[in-house]
Amino acid sequence: MKKGQVFEGVIERVDFPNSGKIFLPEEEKTVTVKNGLPGQRVRFSVHKIRQGRAEGNIIEILEKALKEMEPSCPHFGQCGGCTYQNLPYEEQINLKEKQIKQMMDKAVDGAYIWEGVKPSPVQEAYRNKMEFSFGDEYKDGPLALGMHKRGSFHDIVNVPDCRIVDEDYRKILACTLDFAKESGLPYFHRMKHTGFFRHLLVRKAVKTGQLLIALVTTSQRECNLESLTQRLLSLPLTGKIAGILHTRNDGVADVVRDEGTEILYGQDYFYEELLGMKFKITPFSFFQTNSLGAEVLYETVREYIGDTKDKVIFDLYSGTGTIAQILAPVAEKVVGVEIVEEAVEAAKENARLNSLENCSFWAGDVLKVIDSLEETPDLIVLDPPRDGVNPKALEKIIGFGVDKMVYIACKPTSLVRDLEMLQGRGYQVEKIACVDLFPGTYHIECVVGMKRKHI
């Protein structure tokens, strides 16, 4: 087998994340390909061979999978946002369940209760936040505003008919792109580090209908944004615009970062409601991107944490304090720790909004902050970012010796790594459930209930 060789084969299975396996008997080798479905017969080219492992790119789908269907989104396949829209939703759930169950069976020591995948209450227009990128459709092509092209770091796909957001997002997207084109100003080039337009951030609350819009640019040029503001305000939207913002970001990394925000209209926050509670959300603070799915997730966490009466709970990596406040009414006290200061301020205000006096929130890195906390926890909830918990922080967390811990993971592979240490230090997995917050994609949330073994 050589780089560039073209083969045909059937995808026998797809492992998490998005990793299709094709066995070639004539080569006695398994090749990994992305963006395929189990049962598809494909033509693919080999692009990497390393230490006996081979990876390839699908060139053409020769035969569809048994239950494959036409995706509802016209951008599917070109846009890198979704992977499973060509499967009925029930089959997406079945595929994700098979993938995660296989991973957890290998990662968990001993028997545990597997509770399967809880589906999202809605499968389309479920996202309450989108970060669209400026760029060109191809090298030196026309200005685009949308999602990264599948498999490309540079090219941007216009997504005027994206299905994971509602019509308000699509109108705001089209309006902003028209304005940017008319301005004549360039997008920020990711390699040259020059240009003006970078991202468009849109957030919309499902329950309140409030919208927050932030245009992210560099400070390399000046642009009068009054016209854009007026155009956005005149759009016929189902939701109500709470704020329009202009954020500066001169960093070289291709991420949305706040280096100074000006309010062009309204305010720099809006409100969402979950499980009967009200939450203030700021532009860059963490909040689950599927509000209705988040209610399913947090109900699962509340069930897994069990009896909280007269208990002190640590909510580590607490974001805007959503979990802390959902647990607070039935606990003695909840202490949240979060590294994003903006999110901590929002969490404090959220606690006041919901008349919760037994919540406190600390800003800082979990690794450093937990040494200075005065309280000793009875229960711990972990909801870390995608890379999981810093091993040194995890050692300190284990050191509290709580009887029960609940771990919420948005990246199952990080969870697998952290479970190894947790189980090695005396924790036993009792049960696991998944909640599908990301229909159409390979992403999924896992909730793990653990107890401390008493020897």
Active site members: 410
Burial class (CB in 10 A: 0-12, 13-18, 19+), 207: middle
Asked if residue 420 lies in contact with residue 445, where contact means CB atoms within 8 angstroms, the answer is: no
How many Å is the Cα radius of gyration of the chain? 23
Using alpha carbons, list the distances in angstroms from residue 293 to 96, 322, 339, 427: 16, 14, 24, 28
Q: How many CB atoms lie within 10 A of CB 312?
A: 19
φ/ψ of 39, rounded to 5, equals 100, -15
Closest among 345, 191, 196 to 283, alpha carbons compared: 345
What is the sign of the dihedral through the CA atoms of 280, 283, 287 and 292?
A: positive
Contact 423, 429 (CB under 8 A): yes
Beta pairing, strands 312-316 & 379-382: parallel
Side-chain-facing half-sphere of 63: CA atoms under 13 Å:
10
Strand intervals (E) in 301-345: 312-316, 333-338
Chain position carrying tokens 């005065």: 374
Evaluate the CA torsion angle 59, 64, 65, 69 in order and state its sign. Answer: positive
Strands (E), 51-208: 53-63, 113-118, 129-136, 143-148, 156-158, 197-204
Dihedral sign for Cα 189, 192, 196, 198, please.
positive
- Give the helix ranges, DSSP H, for 192-233: 226-233
The tokens describing 25, both together, are 């008997």
Q: What is the four-CA torsion angle of 242, 435, 311, 455, rounded to 10 degrees?
A: -150
User: Quick check: 380 and 394 in contact, CB under 8 A?
Assistant: no
